[in-house]
Chain A
């Protein structure tokens, strides 16, 4: 029957946005909540199941204020496990769209563009998984110029664009070029190989694995980055130039990247870098990229140990 006389509810509005139509299928089993790592790692209040419930119960303002609306990075780990095949990130995206339309703003820490450096090349527009940056004509220092502008409501802060920007015009607090480079400083310990390990914030699900990494002696320097997309090949080259023996990059498995495409981007970057190192005859497994899946508990230790073992005989060879 036609229910046209009924006033439009919040659920109807979400339902009308493409992707929001799966909403009603959710039977609140909680699979999405535990498959997602945001509650565990970042925000205890994060709960996609509850957000869907808030929408269904017509609790508009609560939904807009919920951290779930803003923190979901649409990695779709939950979708792959959802027994009702609800495309949860699309539903959350629909709520976010309504929230933005209602004047709410993302509380996330996002990247910022230094307009005086930006040349308007558009590389950031290409690499961003969220279509956050776009090129605009703007008046800068009295001249019209084409620069990149970031939509802060779309940016999830992965830093892929920071690594990609050829002019270093983009920065993200905490992982700007300067801050990361400052950490690439590994002391000599008993003649053991010196290793830099870049770990993305999301590939290590188990807390044991994170604490285990910290327990290595000082010759293993662990640098946390939001996503392997943030890896700049220049960082690896810098490390090797300063006499560090190897670089290990740990990221999510394909299809499990928290920022959709970061793993893919870094796979390309590191395979190119390795080809270049081979041409310079200093390759030989000095820079490695490992993809750690959600079920690979304990694998990171094996990988670090294997890399250290591999680097030990090369230790004395000059780079």
Chain B
């Protein structure tokens, strides 16, 4: 950290928050709030005179509130830069610090937060993780029994620079403990709190046990666990070493901790799997290995940076296997435990990868994106005529559409990821998506439903999930109805209601609307846009009197080939159960309504015309590209 702060090309801004991020990859504009320390950074030399005279003591967060700090403080002795701050929530304005600072004159009570705009090429998010608060698990008595401590508290108690100068003592009486129980999976692998495995606690518990055993060889240490997970290089050997040192490993998750009210010793109730017996062992101290959880402000960070979250609140990566260090937004990269609980080697590996990806942005003048971007057909956009709309801008998960009343909407191509949500939402047919134009999709629908449409199941699949699911069904040789006709679009948000109307107008037997599971969406909030539209359509068709199930909505992941096959087969069964005459009659009855609703079809009634439209668009694109080249 010290090296980084001294590097001429590294600018370390501490005590600073990112308020706003605008722009796109390579051209971000970032608004920083440099919080006021009430100390001039250029004048403070870190002598600590102010802290010495300060009369106010508050709990020290860095010492896990086991020790006090002054209202004039540095977070920890290794802080970089070593500049003191005044904690205004605690300060009583006695100004003793100002006197102590004397000629340096570094303390300024009139200071305010400073807002700074900076030009930034790429952003690496490394906001880390937080610890689960075990006091919400009543069985373990944390907060009620003084000798039940968390792993982080143990870390401070057993640190030679910590609040007890490395002397491990019991909080209840200050005695040195003779026995210790370490409990793993406190709040993790627990559906009531956090379903995930926190990844590093097994090794972390073993590390603490080994350190303590080295310092206090007579200490009786037991580790309670569900499974010990030591998959990486050297980990299993370390686990072996811990067992050889005499640390006792007990397989069985403790269900209860009780306390002897006189001695304040603790009884850990657990089953010993190997014995199949309930144990009730007495310990002087219990340490809880609490779960890693996302930072409490993940929602703010993800909305500022426009990145999505996986279930649970970890930041979502672009691709779990191939691009784990990229966020779904170009130019924003993820590093370390903010993306998911991980230990130091993995964090370093991911951080280095993210740094090299970020460097790639800085060193290139051009940025390659997927060609499936959206384009505004400016003469059709009603905003140009001064009318109020902005539907496209609202639908865009990336904020890539600049909308201002009176001007045609504008797509920032570098920001567009090509979900096509805006295209489907535009009520005036003024946006199109390259390679997924309305004309192309309509042409496909018409081709697929050209013969005996009443027998067909037209399936709209999103590129990332349900198309993969259908693919898996095929490669796994799961049988599904041969009447299914699949169509690929990038996202369920692109599945225009007009496509569905058109399919039914042409007499499709059934239509499947499929996409990613909620929160799995590749385009942050594409799936909810599609889901809302699909639900609206389903209700509309219900009112029209369509047989329920002819229009079906399913969320199918790329790993659910069996589900895809099952859904299609169920739809086929439904079609088989309707007598053909009745089905044809229903199609005929609904056709006028579909025709009425498929407004876009009135504007583009023939495929020939649609293709003409596509031609014009391509020409326009080419012309525009030619302009750019010039």
Q: Which residues of A contact B (CB under 8 A)?
A: 1-2, 27-35, 39-40, 44, 47, 49-50, 78, 81, 83-85, 205-206, 294-295, 297-299
Q: Is the CB of A205 within 8 A of B276?
A: no
Selected contact of B271 from candidates A33, A206, A295, CB within 8 Å: A33
Contacts of B256 in A (CB 8 A): 34-35, 81, 205, 294-295
Proximity bits, B275-299, A CB within 8 Å = 1, else 0: 0111110000000000000000000
List of A residues within 8 angstroms of B270 by Cβ:
30, 34
Q: In the complex, are the beta carbons of A81 and B269 less than 8 A apart?
A: no
* Min CB gap B484→A, angstroms: 16
Check B261–A297 contact: CB distance below 8 A: yes
Bound state CA distance, A84 and B194, in angstroms? 10
A33 to B192, alpha carbons, bound, how many Å?
19
For chain B, residues 165 to 215, give those with C-beta under 8 angstroms from any C-beta of chain A. Answer: 185, 189-192
Determine whether the beta carbon of A83 is less than 8 Å from that of B251. Answer: no
Chain B positions 250-271 with a Cβ under 8 Å from a chain A Cβ: 251-262, 267, 269-271
Output the nearest chain A residue to B569 by Cβ-Cβ distance: A2
Assess the A31–B255 pair: CB atoms within 8 A.
Answer: yes
* Residue with the greatest number of chain A CB neighbours at <10 A, chosen from B255, B256, B565: B255
**A295 contacts B259, CB within 8 Å?**
yes
Give CA–CA (A298, B262) in the complex, Å.
9
From residue B609, how far is it (CB to closest CB) to chain A in Å?
Answer: 45
- Chain B hits for A50, CB < 8 A: 276
Q: A83-B185, A294-B256 are in contact. Are A35 and B269 (CB under 8 A)?
A: yes
CA distance A27 to B278 in the complex (A): 18
Residues of B within 8 A of A33 (CB): 252, 255, 271, 278
Least Cβ–Cβ distance between B523 and chain A, in angstroms = 30
- CB of A206 within 8 A of CB of B192, answer no
Given A34-B279, A44-B277, A83-B189, answer yes or no on A29-B260 (Cβ-Cβ < 8 Å): no
A29 to B224, CA, bound (A): 10
A29 engages B226 (CB within 8 Å): yes
Given A1-B566, A83-B189, A297-B258, the answer on whether A30 and B141 have CB atoms closer than 8 Å is no
B273 at interface by CB-CB < 8 Å: yes
Set B185, B255, B260: member contacting A81, Cβ < 8 A = B255
Footprint of A on B, CB under 8 Å? Answer: 138-139, 141, 144, 185, 189-192, 226, 251-262, 267, 269-273, 276-280, 478, 562, 565-566
Residues from chain B with a CB closer than 8 A to the CB of A299 are: 261
A34-B279, A206-B267 known; A295-B566 Cβ under 8 A: no
Instruction: State A292–B385 Cα separation when bound (angstroms).
Output: 75
A34 touches B254 (CB 8 A): yes
Q: A205-B256, A294-B139 are in contact. List 16 more A-B contacts (CB 8 A).
A: A1-B478, A27-B189, A30-B251, A30-B252, A33-B252, A33-B255, A33-B278, A34-B254, A34-B269, A34-B278, A39-B277, A83-B185, A205-B269, A295-B258, A297-B260, A299-B261
A78 to B258 CA separation, bound complex (whole angstroms): 16
Contact between B273 and A28, CB atoms less than 8 A apart: yes
Q: Which residues of B contact A2 (CB under 8 A)?
A: 566
List the 3 closest pairs (A to B, CB-CB), nearest first: A30-B271, A35-B255, A83-B190
Indicate if the CB atoms of A84 and B252 lie closer than 8 Å. Answer: no
Among B258, B272, B478, max chain A CB count under 10 A is at: B258
Q: From B141, which residue of chain A is reached at the shortest CB distance?
A: A295
Inter-chain contacts of A27 with B (CB < 8 A): 189, 226
C-alpha spacing A230/B141, complex, angstroms: 31
Contacts of A78 in B (CB 8 A): 255
**How far is A27 from B227 in the complex, measured between Cα atoms in Å?**
10
A32 to B258, CA, bound (A): 16
| Residue pair B253, A29 in contact (C-beta under 8 Å) | yes
B269-A1 in contact (CB<8A): no
Q: Which residues of B contact A1 (CB under 8 A)?
A: 478, 562, 565-566
Which of A31, A85, A298 contacts B191, CB < 8 Å?
A85
